Structure 1
Amino acid sequence: MDTLSRDLLASLEAEQEASIAFLQALLRAPSPNPPGDTRAAAALLIEALTKAGLEPKLFSPQPEMPNIVAHFDGARPGRHLVLNGHIDVFPVAAHEWSRDPWGGEIAEGRIYGRGACDMKGGLASLLLAFLHLHRHRDKLAGRVTFTAVSDEETFGPWGARWMFEHQRELMMGDCLLSGEPSSPQCVRFGEKSPYWVAITVRTKGGHGAYTHSSASATKIAARIATALEEVRGLEVRAPDNVVAMFRDPAIARQIDEGCGAGHAAVIPEITLNIGRMSGGLKMNVLPSECRIEADVRLPIGLSREAVRAEVARIVARFPEATLEEISPPEDVPNWSDPDGEMMGILRRTVQELGRPAPVPVITLGGTDTRLWRYHGVPAYVYGPSPASMGAADENIALDDFLHILRTHTLAAARYLTNGKA
C-alpha cells in the first residue's frame, strides 16, 4: 500500500469517533419524504463543507428541498469523479419502532435511526470521504464533485432529475460513485426499473342485495389484478455478459447473503406487485368504483414498450377500466459495465481492507444513479446492507459504516490517481 493510502487510512482511523458523531447528527435531523423537508439535514452538510474551506452551491427549486453541489480540483489535470447521495428518507410509523427513529442511538455495535442504511449512512460516508480527499488534493489529479440531493424517494422531480434538467453541467463527470444500500458484499452496477400504473374501474353500482343490477367494480378489479400476472410471461432478452454471472452458484450465494435470500434468482425476472386496491363504500353497497395501483419491475433485457403494450392489452379486455401510467416515462432498466474500472477498483480495495471481494449485482429497486447512466456516465454503488431499509428500527453496523467510509475514500483516491494510490 502506497503513502497516500496509508495517510488516508491513518486520518480515517484518527477521526472514527468524529465520523460516527457526524452520522448521529445526520440521523437526528429528520428528513422524511413525504413531506420531503430536508433543510435541517442539508444544513449539517453545508456546515461541514464550509468549515473545510469549500464553497457549496445550493439549488432549491422547492424551498424545503435543497440540493447541494461542491467540488475541488487536484494538483494536475485528470478525470472527474462525482459522489452522489440523497438527503431525504422514508417516512416513519413511530409506533412500530422500539427506539427513537430520530435518535441516532448506538447499541450493541449498531446505530439506529430512519435513513441509517437508506441512505444517510452512505451519504455521511461520501461527504466525509470528500473532505478527506480535499485535504490531500495536492496528491490527486482531476476533479471531485460532491452532490447531495433531495426528493429521491419520489423519483426526484425536485432533486437529481431537476438538477439534470437545469444544472446538468454540474452533475456530469467521468464516473459516479454512490453510497446507496448494496451490502458490503456487493457492488451495484445496474438496476431494474419500475413501471407503475393505476387502473380505475367504474360501474353503475347500487344496493348490495341487487347484484343483478350492476357489475361490481371490486370484482372486476380483482379479475384485472389476476390477469396482470400475464406480464410475467413476456420474453426477457438480457445480454449474456450482464446476467450470466448470476447463474454462478457462488456468486448467487454471496448476492443472497448481502442483499437478502432470493435476490439473485429474481434479478432476471419480471415481477408484479399489486401495491394498493381500494374501492367500495360499505358492506351492503354494490361498489361503483375501484382503483388498483400496480408496480411492475422491468429487468434488463425488457423494454418499457413491451410491458406497456401487454398491460394495455390486458386492461382492454375490461371495458369498465381505464389505465394511467404513474412512473416517469424515461425510466428504463439501466446498467454500467460490470467489468468497468471503478468496479475493479472497489473490489480490489475491499479485499485489501480485509473483506471478501464484493460481487457485481443488479438490484431490484431504483436509485438516482440511473440518471447518470442515461447520460452515458458509468455509475457504481457501494453501501450498507439493505436488510433494514425502510423498516422499523432501521440501522447500520458501525463496523460496516467505517468500512464503507474507508472503501469510498481509497477507491476515489485510486480512481483519481489512475488506480495508483
Structure 2
Amino acid sequence: MDNTQLKQQLVDEVEKRKDELIELCSSLIRIPSENPPGDSTEASEFVSDYLKQFGLEVDWHEASEKMYNLVSSIGDESGKKLIYCGHTDVVPAGDLSKWDFDPFSGEVVDGWMLGRGASDMKGGLAGIIFAFTLFKRLGIELPGQLTLAIVPDEETGGEFGVPWLLENNLINGDGCLIAEPSSPLNPTIGQKGSYWFELEVFGEPGHGSLSPVAGNNAIVDAIAAIEKIRTLWDLDIHMPEEVRELVDISKRYLREVEEEREIFQPVLERITVNIGTINGGTKSNVIPESCKVQVDCRLPFGITHEEVSDYLKKELDSLGIRYSIRLFGFKSVANYTSAQDPVCKAIVENIEFVTKDEAYGVMQWASSDARHFRDYHIPVLQYGPAYLPSIHGYNEKVLVEDIVRCAKVYVAAVVDFLYETSND
C-alpha cells in the first residue's frame, strides 16, 4: 500500500467512525474545565482513561496543583518526531442567563456541536485524540514517532502547560500541530507578538472642591498618558522582507475568505492598542493620587519590546507626569514558521487532499502556545475546527462536519510527515 492509499484508508476510517468522534467531543464539553480556576483533574482523567482503553500508555506530569500535562507516544522514536498538541482548559462560561443553551451540554443540534470549548478547542482536541488512537487501533506501524501532548493552562497564558513541558524536556519534535481554531482552509503559521503593561500614574490628593487649582489629579494625567500610548498605532514599522509574503497572503485571506474582516487588514502591520482597564481614585470629592491603566498591545514583525518601551518612555516623559510601567501577562515578539517547512506542507497539502480546495497558511493577530514551540526551534502551525465568531463568547458552537474534516486532515498529515520525510 502506498502513502496515498494509506491516507485514504485512514480518512475513510474517520468517516466510518465519525459518530464516535462526535461523542468524544461531546464528552469533553460536558466536563467543565474553566480557567480560571484551572483545575484540569476531571478532563485529564477522562482523556487518560480514553487513551488507556486502547492500550496506550499515558504519562502524567503535574506542573502545578491540579494542572496536569498528559503525554503519550506511539511509533518509532528513532525516526522523525511529530507532536499533536491541545489544551483542555476553556475560558469561563460567564453569565449563564446569556446563553441560549447549557454551555456544558455538549449537545448536537441541526449539525452544530454546542457548548463552551466547542470551537476553542475541544473540537480540535477530540480530533487529535481520536486521530492518535486510530493508528493504534488499526495496528499501523509508524516509521517515526507521534506524540500527543494534552496541556492544562493555555487560556490565561500560563506557564504550566506547553512552556513547562518544553522547559523540562518532556516533549520534543521535528514539527508540531496545535489543534487550535482556524478557518477551514487556512491554518495559522505565524502570529503577532504581545506586549501587555500596566501604567500607574501618581498624583497628589486634595479636596475635590479645589480641583483643578489644588492637588495633582492622577486620572487627568492618566488620560493624557493614554493619548500618548494610543499613538503606538501610528508608528511606521519597517517589516522584514522575509515575512512580507506571509503578511500579503494574510491580507488576501481577509479580503477573499473572511470578507467581513477586510477592515482588519492594517492590524497585521501595526501595533494594536487596547486600553483594557482603568482604576483610579477613592471617591468623587477626593483628588485621586493614583490611577492604574492596563494595556494590551500586539506587535507586528519589525519591532521589539525594547523599541516599544523606549518610545513609551520618551512620549510619557514629555508630559512631565509621575508614572511607572510594569510588564505582565503575554510577552512575545512576532513569530512564524515557513510555509515550506515539512509540517506546514503536511497540513496544508492534506487540507487540499481532504477538501479538494486550495489551502494556504496565514497569520493570526493574537498569540498562542505556538510561540513556545518556536522558542525551542520546533516548527509549528495551528489548525482546528471552529465557528470563529463564537470563540470566547456566548453560544459557542462548531459545525460537526468541521470536526470530522479536521480529524481526517490530522490522520492524513501524519502519513506525509512521518513516512515521506523519514526517507529524506
* TM-score, normalised relative to structure 1: 0.93
Cα-to-partner distance string for 1:132-178 (whole Å, 9 max, x where unaligned): 12334644211011001111112222222222222x2x221000011
Q: Give secondary structure in 2 for the equivalent of 1:384.
A: coil
Distance in 1 (CA, whole Å) between partners of 2:320 and 2:97 is 41
Which one of the candidate residues 36, 39, 42 is aligned to 1:37? 39
Distance in 2 (CA, whole Å) between partners of 1:260 and 1:92 is 25
Q: Is the 8 A contact 1:185 1:254 kept in 2?
A: no
Q: CA deviation at 1:6?
A: 2.5
Q: CA deviation at 1:263?
A: 4.1
Cα-to-partner distance string for 1:194-213 (whole Å, 9 max, x where unaligned): 10000111212222211021
2:10 matched residue in structure 1? 8
Q: Is the 8 A contact 2:254 2:262 kept in 1?
A: no
Identical residues among aligned pairs (%): 29
1:237 matched residue in structure 2? 238
Distance 1:263 1:346, change over 3 A: farther
Supply the RMSD in Å over aligned alpha carbons. 2.1
Residues 1:286 and 2:293 are matched in the alignment = no
**What does 1:54-133 correspond to in 2, within 5 Å?**
54-74=56-76, 77-93=78-94, 94-133=96-135
2:227 partner amino acid: T
Q: Give secondary structure in 2 for the equivalent of 1:297.
A: strand
2:355 matched residue in structure 1? 354
- For structure 1, which segment, 57-66 or 20-29, has the greater mean C-alpha deviation from structure 2 after superposition? 57-66
Q: Is the 8 A contact 2:166 2:376 kept in 1?
A: no
Residues 1:311 and 2:312 are matched in the alignment = yes
Distance in 2 (CA, whole Å) between partners of 1:28 and 1:15 is 20
Distance in 2 (CA, whole Å) between partners of 1:77 and 1:24 is 36
Q: Is the 8 A contact 1:315 1:322 kept in 2?
A: no
1:194 matched residue in structure 2? 194
Distance in 2 (CA, whole Å) between partners of 1:27 and 1:250 is 34
2:136 matched residue in structure 1? 134
Q: CA deviation at 1:185?
A: 2.4
1:388 matched residue in structure 2? 390
Which one of the candidate residues 321, 324, 327 is aligned to 1:325? 327
Cα-to-partner distance string for 1:316-372 (whole Å, 9 max, x where unaligned): 34432111111355x221111122222222222122223522222110111111111
2:113 partner amino acid: I
Distance in 2 (CA, whole Å) between partners of 1:199 and 1:265 is 26
Which one of the candidate residues 389, 413, 416 is aligned to 1:414? 416
Distance in 1 (CA, whole Å) between partners of 2:244 and 2:253 is 11
Distance in 2 (CA, whole Å) between partners of 1:50 and 1:264 is 46
Distance in 2 (CA, whole Å) between partners of 1:260 and 1:133 is 39
Q: Is the 8 A contact 2:235 2:270 kept in 1?
A: no
Distance 1:232 1:415, change over 3 A: same
Q: Is the 8 A contact 1:256 1:263 kept in 2?
A: no
1:177 partner amino acid: L
Residues 1:399 and 2:401 are matched in the alignment = yes
Q: CA deviation at 1:108?
A: 1.8
Q: Give secondary structure in 1 for the equivalent of 2:408.
A: helix
Cα-to-partner distance string for 1:105-149 (whole Å, 9 max, x where unaligned): 222211111111111111111111111123346442110110011
Q: Is the 8 A contact 2:143 2:422 kept in 1?
A: no
Residues 1:18 and 2:2 are matched in the alignment = no
Q: CA deviation at 1:215?
A: 1.7
Distance in 2 (CA, whole Å) between partners of 1:137 and 1:268 is 48
Q: Is the 8 A contact 1:186 1:255 kept in 2?
A: no
- For structure 1, which segment, 101-110 or 192-201, has the greater mean C-alpha deviation from structure 2 after superposition? 101-110
2:61 partner amino acid: F
Distance in 2 (CA, whole Å) between partners of 1:77 and 1:237 is 43
Q: CA deviation at 1:92?
A: 1.7
Q: CA deviation at 1:260?
A: 4.1
Residues 1:156 and 2:193 are matched in the alignment = no
Cα-to-partner distance string for 1:349-401 (whole Å, 9 max, x where unaligned): 12222352222211011111111111111101111232211011111111111
1:84 partner amino acid: C
Provide the aligned length of Structure 1 versus Structure 2. 416
1:178 matched residue in structure 2? 178
Q: CA deviation at 1:287?
A: 1.9
1:276 matched residue in structure 2? 277
2:118 partner amino acid: A
Q: Is the 8 A contact 2:185 2:358 kept in 1?
A: yes
Q: Which runs of 5+ in 1 are unaligned?
A: none
Distance in 1 (CA, whole Å) between partners of 2:244 and 2:136 is 38
Q: Is the 8 A contact 1:235 1:302 kept in 2?
A: no
1:340 matched residue in structure 2? 341
2:200 partner amino acid: T
Distance in 2 (CA, whole Å) between partners of 1:233 and 1:222 is 18
Q: Which runs of 5+ in 2 are unaligned?
A: none
1:47 matched residue in structure 2? 49
1:392 partner amino acid: Y
Q: Give secondary structure in 1 for the equivalent of 2:56.
A: coil
Q: CA deviation at 1:103?
A: 1.1
2:12 partner amino acid: A
Q: Is the 8 A contact 2:221 2:321 kept in 1?
A: no
2:29 partner amino acid: L
Distance 1:328 1:110, change over 3 A: closer
Distance in 2 (CA, whole Å) between partners of 1:260 and 1:390 is 18
Q: CA deviation at 1:245?
A: 4.7
